[in-house]
Amino acid sequence: MLDYLKKISNQYISMVDSQTGIRISSCVMNTEDFIALAKTNGVQRFTEGRLSKALKNHLKTPFPTHCSASLALLPSGEMVKLDAHTRCEAWEGGYLDMPKQLMVTIYHVDDEQFTRRLYHALDNKNAAETAADHAYGSARGSLERKPINGALFSRRGIRTALEIALNNGASMTDEAFRARLEHSDGRNLIEVLDKHHFKPNLFNAGFLGAIALSILKDGEDAMGFWSKVASGEGTKEAGRLDAVEMAYQFKMDIDRFKSVKASSMRPKDVQNGSSRSINNDYCLRVLPFYQAWKAGRTYQPTPNAKGWTTRSHKSFESSAHFLKA
C-alpha cells in the first residue's frame, strides 16, 4: 500500500500504531484528487441536507481545519472518505472556495467494514449527529448505496419509528440500531421503504412504525394497504367504512386534534403531544386496521357530533404481540 501512496503524493510520512497494528500516513494531496479518488463512506450522513446549515455555521469563514481530511486506504488501492463529505459538497457546488491542497491522514485498513468504524470515531464532534442524521447514515449503510427516498430517512421521527418496529418500542444504542438495520430483515425493511414514495411528513412516527412492522410481518405486500391510506383511497358505502378509510380518518383526527389540551375536546384515542410513548400507542392502535384490511373487514362507526370518527379503541399489546398474531 505504501507503493500506491507514492503514486498520489511525494510528500508523506508513515508509522505503524503499536497498539492496533494499523499503519497511519500523512500526506499533502491535491483537493481535486481527494474529491475524485476517495469514494463516499457507506454510512455518510445526509450532506445535501446539512450543507445549508454548515455554510451558515462552521463553514461560514475559512479556518485551518478546513484544509485537513482523512481517508481509508484499502489493499486494492481503493480510497474511502472518513470526513470532509460536506466540505466536498460545498467545494464541488461552488459554495465554498476550494483550497488547492489538503493535509490528509490515511489509515491503511484491510476491509471496508472497518472504514465505517473509523468514520464514526472521527466524525466532527462539533456537528453532532441528530437522530435523523444517524438514521439516514444507518439506512445508507444497510442499502450500501445512497437512499432514493432520502427525505424519508432524514425526517424527524424516523429513528423512533424504526425503533418502535425493531425494538418493541424501546430506544436503542447507535451501535445496536446500525447493526439491526444491517441484519437481513432490517435490510429488507429499508429496501422496501426506499422503493415506495409518499410525502415524508404525511405520517407521524407512530404510523411509520406501523408501516415498518407490517413490512417485517408481511413483506412488500403490506404497502398495498399503506399506499391506499397515504392517498386517501378508502371507501364509504351505506354508512360502512373499509379499513383503509378508518386508518385514514384516524390519521386525520390525530393531525386535527393532537394540539388540543382538553381531553373532552378530542377523540379518546388521540393524545396531546408527540412523545415516543404516544407514537408507540398510535402504532399499536392503527395496526388492527391493517389486519382488518387483510381480512376484508369493514366498520360501521357511530356518528359523532364533535366532528371526529368514533373508533373501538382496540390495539395490540406490543410490537411483538402484532408480529406473533
Among 164-168, 263-267, 303-307, the range scoring the smallest mean pLDDT is: 303-307
For 283-296, write each residue's pLDDT tens digit. Answer: 999 999 999 999 99
**Overall domain count for the chain:** 2
Clarify whether residues 157 and 262 are in a common domain.
yes
For 3-25, write each residue's pLDDT tens digit. Answer: 656 666 667 788 999 998 999 99
| Bigger pLDDT: 307 vs 125 | 307
Full-model pTM: 0.66
Clarify whether residues 140 and 76 are in a common domain.
no
For 182-227, write each residue's pLDDT tens digit. Answer: 999 999 999 999 999 878 788 999 999 999 999 999 999 999 999 9
Clarify whether residues 202 and 274 are in a common domain.
yes
Give the amino acid at 118.
L
Given 127, 142, 164, the domain boundary residue is: 127
Clarify whether residues 171 and 280 are in a common domain.
yes
Q: How far apart are CA 147 and CA 133, in angstroms?
A: 13
pLDDT (0 to 100) of residue 3 = 61
Residue 298, pLDDT > 60, answer yes
Three-state SS for 29-93 is EEHHHHHHHEECCCCCCCHHHHHHHHHHCCCCCCCHHHHEEEEEECCCCCEEECCCHHHHHHHHC
Clarify whether residues 175 and 209 are in a common domain.
yes
Name every residue whose Cβ is closer than 8 Å to that of residue 68 and which is 6 or more positions away in sequence.
Answer: 102, 103, 104, 105
Given 98, 127, 156, the domain boundary residue is: 127
Clarify whether residues 99 and 138 are in a common domain.
no
pLDDT (0 to 100) of residue 42 = 76
Mean pLDDT of 249-263: 93
Q: What percentage of the chain has pLDDT greater than the value 70?
A: 93
Clarify whether residues 221 and 290 are in a common domain.
yes
Q: Which residues span the domain enclosing 163?
A: 129-325
Clarify whether residues 93 and 146 are in a common domain.
no
The CATH number linked to 102 is 3.90.1530
pLDDT (0 to 100) of residue 122 = 78
Q: How far apart are CA 158 and CA 147, in angstroms?
A: 14
For 52-103, write each residue's pLDDT tens digit. Answer: 878 888 888 888 989 999 999 998 888 999 988 889 989 988 999 999 999 9
Clarify whether residues 49 and 21 are in a common domain.
yes
pLDDT (0 to 100) of residue 17 = 92
Clarify whether residues 121 and 140 are in a common domain.
no
For 144-162, write each residue's pLDDT tens digit. Answer: 898 998 889 988 899 999 9
| C-alpha count within 13 angstroms, C-beta hemisphere, residue 67 | 14
The pLDDT-based confidence of 49 (bands split at 50, 70, 90) is low
Given 78, 104, 127, the domain boundary residue is: 127
Clarify whether residues 159 and 121 are in a common domain.
no
SS3 107: strand
pLDDT (0 to 100) of residue 147 = 92
Clarify whether residues 182 and 301 are in a common domain.
yes
Give the angle subtended at the CA of 179 by the CAs of 176 and 185, to the nearest 5°: 120
